[in-house]
Amino acid sequence: MRTQKIMKWSFLAVMLLGNISISCTKYDTPDFVEETGGVSGNLSVKKNVLWINLEGAGGGDLVKNAFPDDGVVKGLLPRSRYAWNGLESEHIDDTYTPTAENAIACASMLTGNIPMRHGIADETYLSEVYFDPDYDESMKAYPSFFQYIVDYDKSMKTLAVTPWKTQNQELLEKAGTTVTTTSDEETLNTVLQQIDNENNRVIYLSFRDVLDAAKSGGGWKDSNTQYINAMHKMDGYIGQLLEAIRARPEYYYEDWLIMITSNHGGTADGRYGGMSLEERNMFGIFYYEHFSKGKEMNPGLVEDVLCFDQSFQGVVIDSIEPTPDKKGIETMRQIYSLDSLDSGMTVEIIMAARPSIGRSYVPGDQNGKNLFGKRRWNMSLTHTYASALGSFYGKNDGTDGQRTAAFLNPMIHAYTSTVKLYDTEAHIQKDWVDEVIDQWGNVTEGYNKMTPKRKGKVAVYSYYDGLKKTTKSTDADLDWSIADYVDNTNLTLYGGMSNLCRYILELRIWNKELSPAEVKQYSNKLKLSPSDPMYGNLIGYWQFYKGEDGQYLKDDSIVVNQIKQVKKRVKVGDREEEQFLDTEGLRLRKKFTASNNKSYYTYVEKEDLKYQTLTNTLYQTIESEGRMMESVLPVPTVLQWLDISFPLETTRETGANAFKTSKLDGVAYPWDGENNRAVWRGMFLGDYTVDLEWREYEK
């Protein structure tokens, strides 16, 4: 039996146990900046960051309307990447009740990680770390962003000014100078003095008056005059800070990124710290004076997604079920198999993962885990670095050896595999069977065994986030008996993964091989409707949303198949004919371990079902519409701006086989099939390389 140790550590104590690995490799900047931001090209020019956090200000129209139309903040928008709407990262549980600052929200924003990863659960800012010595994986620690700056350049001057003493001592202790203040006026004056007299490259400050005004003035609502007045005051404070920066003697040779954020919101009756949309709402404005144009980002929310618990499993009945009235139909089901030749199929899984109890997205026992499939095809994760691979008839596209990894962050990802059978031909294989004489002297004469077979070619391709994982041809030969093509098994959505949970949004099966352009297009789409031009090609479509009763889920345990009937060729007697077959829902089950330690699956109860609202982080959506504000985005944005490579951590393998994943949850890891590599990329600022060259255009 495994032993499990539960330990509480401050980040300072954990950091003394080992070094944090940071890659310093630089790459050419693509459309999405690879590992670092753009570089100015002038060694005398310095990039600096001023990060202003309005504690608990919220987001949405409340914040947008609270800032004066002719004020400082709204005047920054034409040169900003900004989002008025956002979501604080979901908590491990929703029982937390803050007494002053929302410590979990603060920790998520300052570490760049969701609570399931940073582990901070209260105002002590101590991280609960679950460490299993038999798990063969290192203990994880996720400090504030100041640690990564120190690791990059110890001489870089940094400043943190907040009203939260314990936060400063436990989480922000790696800042070069840390100041705890007793009022927002003191915070403002401290920072103004530092801007005038010091050369801090990074300044983080937190104002609390808006939070206090929302609490004491009647809640987060536009009729709360205390809240509105506090926001107007913040607008003025921000103006003073910007004036001080512009008055610096070396301002011409400094590129300042100004970040204005909130870390959570609250309800109209004054509650905060929970998981309602009002309490999670936040905003972010990222301003650089020389951004060529502003961009508002709001790809929207995906509401009420089912949390697929670690113990869950799902089954779609897809095996032969002969009944007295249909005994003449030999193949009654098998809707989701490729037993009809000269055919194609596409399978899509759209989901968002959360880390394991050991804080890792790549737990060591996740090798060769099937996600979804039948006997003759499956969608799986291979190796400890979790490459996504589809296999049909034992054939795949050879990308299982790629160190691409999949579901390595809390983003929503689309994992797609396509298959096409073609150039098939029926033939009879003759095999001579020798004469047999049994023990009683009976003779069975030799004969030619006739086996009906079908040969042809199969092409299988896997895609991740709409991007094809290989440009090589994957065509392979098949020559099987006709009986072996039949896939008389149920369709299974497998459980047993080490992730604490997965948010499965949609499963889709198409009756054709989607083209690369179609895969990319549909990896960006959710909640398809019958009006969609390719809806008629769907033969299985399960959506894991809450919805109205019976819309997506019925009887608390069956995920409705949105495709009610499928036309299929079935064998009736000695002939084949086309029939419409009723489809099946996906039966949710949960694993139950009895007192004798035997496990089995049983019905899911209503109380087992949990839902969460997510930001739309589908990669193709972000590429076109930008990214909504989230707790995990400011930290990688700071590092990207400063040209600091994103910090990495090693999974359980070591040496040449070690696979490194990001220590930050707000970065992406897309696969570039043309260049045969994947790179960690920042996802909010986009490409600003040309904007940094403004001095060249003044010459």
Tell me: pLDDT of 135 over 70: no
- Is residue 431 within 8 A of residue 449, CB to CB? The reply is yes
Domain ranges of the chain: 46-88+145-298, 305-425+456-608
Instruction: Show the tokens assigned to 688.
Output: 């600003």
Rounded distance between C-alpha atoms, residue 134 and residue 664, angstroms: 25
For residue 364, the model assigns a pLDDT of 64
Sign, Cα dihedral of 9, 10, 13, 16: positive
Tell me: pLDDT of 609 over 50: yes
Number of other residues whose CB lies within 10 A of the CB of residue 43: 7
pLDDT digits (tens, 9 = 90+) for 395-429: 988 887 776 678 889 999 999 999 998 888 889 99
pLDDT digits (tens, 9 = 90+) for 196-225: 999 999 999 999 999 999 999 999 999 999
Sort 262 into a burial class: Cβ within 10 Å, 0-12 / 13-18 / 19+.
Answer: buried
For residue 21, the model assigns a pLDDT of 33
Instruction: Show the tokens assigned to 381.
Output: 């994760």
- Is residue 619 within 8 A of residue 630, CB to CB? The reply is no
For residue 67, the model assigns a pLDDT of 98
Rounded-to-10 torsion of CA 56, 62, 68, 72? 50
Strand runs (DSSP E) across 383-499, as ranges?
Answer: 387-392, 412-433, 436-437, 443-444, 447-464, 467-468, 476-481, 491-493
Tell me: pLDDT of 30 over 60: no
C-alpha of 427 from chain center:
48
**Who wins on pLDDT, 679 or 569?**
679
Tell me: pLDDT of 535 over 90: yes
CATH 3.40.710.10 fits 46-88+145-298, yes or no: no
Rounded distance between C-alpha atoms, residue 211 and residue 272, angstroms: 10
For residue 569, the model assigns a pLDDT of 72
Flag the least confident range among 3-17, 181-195, 677-691. Answer: 3-17
Tell me: pLDDT of 97 over 60: yes
Q: Return all residues near 564 (Cβ < 8 A) that are at least 6 apart.
A: 582, 583
Sort 339 into a burial class: Cβ within 10 Å, 0-12 / 13-18 / 19+.
Answer: middle
Rounded distance between C-alpha atoms, residue 264 and residue 283, angstroms: 8
Helices and strands in the chain: count of H runs, count of E runs: 16, 41
Q: What are 603's strand-pairing partners?
A: 589
C-alpha closest to that of 649 among 143, 145, 140, 147: 140
Tell me: pLDDT of 10 over 60: no
Tell me: pLDDT of 36 over 90: no
For residue 33, the model assigns a pLDDT of 35
Q: How confident is the model at residue 140 (pLDDT cuts 50, 70, 90)?
A: confident
Flag the least confident range among 122-126, 157-161, 399-403. Answer: 399-403
For residue 388, the model assigns a pLDDT of 84
Q: How confident is the model at residue 652 (pLDDT cuts 50, 70, 90)?
A: low
Flag the least confident range among 2-11, 181-190, 685-694. Answer: 2-11
**Who wins on pLDDT, 653 or 206?**
206
- Is residue 492 within 8 A of residue 592, CB to CB? The reply is no
- With residues binned 3-state (H G I as helix, E B as strand, rest as coil), the percentages for the chain, rounded to 5, are 20, 35, 45
Give, in order, the Cα–Cα distances in Å from 553 to each of 480, 495, 548, 557, 581.
Answer: 39, 19, 8, 7, 21
- For the chain, report the end-to-end CA distance as a whole number of angstroms: 71
For residue 209, the model assigns a pLDDT of 98
Flag the least confident range among 303-307, 434-438, 679-683. Answer: 679-683
Across the chain, what does the average pLDDT equal? 86
Q: Which fold has domain 305-425+456-608?
A: Jelly Rolls (2.60.120)
For residue 489, the model assigns a pLDDT of 86
**Who wins on pLDDT, 443 or 183?**
183
For residue 11, the model assigns a pLDDT of 42
Flag the least confident range among 29-38, 359-368, 491-500, 593-602. Answer: 29-38
For residue 568, the model assigns a pLDDT of 78
Give the predicted TM-score (pTM) of the model. 0.89
For residue 254, the model assigns a pLDDT of 97
C-alpha of 112 from chain center:
14
